[in-house]
Amino acid sequence: TIPFNKAVVVDVTSAGNVKDYHIYRGTTSVFSGASEIGTSTKTTFVDTNTTGVPQTWFYWVVPVNAAGDGHISSSLVVSLFSI
């Protein structure tokens, strides 16, 4: 749980021949309801769009290589609160 006026850093372990990582975020634990919020060629992504009302976010990472999308990661749950 972190204050909602701060950024969330999503850090993943390198998956080998990855071209880039697609980062998704949703308000439930169901991936199909998540939206892509960014792409990174690095293993770290900073979500600075976390301001607003207290909220719980679910994040997923999908690695992409020359063959296409990889496996969807397990979700990362972040609860934001006001201070």
Its pTM stands at: 0.81
**Angstrom distance (rounded) from CA 49 to CA 66:** 29
Compute the mean pLDDT over every residue in the chain, rounded to the nearest whole number: 81
Which DSSP string do the residues of 29-83 spell out, in sequence order? Answer: S-GGG-EEEEEESSSEEEE----SS-EEEEEEEEEEETTEE-PPPPPEEEEEE--
Q: What is the pLDDT of residues 40-56, one digit of tens each?
A: 988 888 888 776 667 88
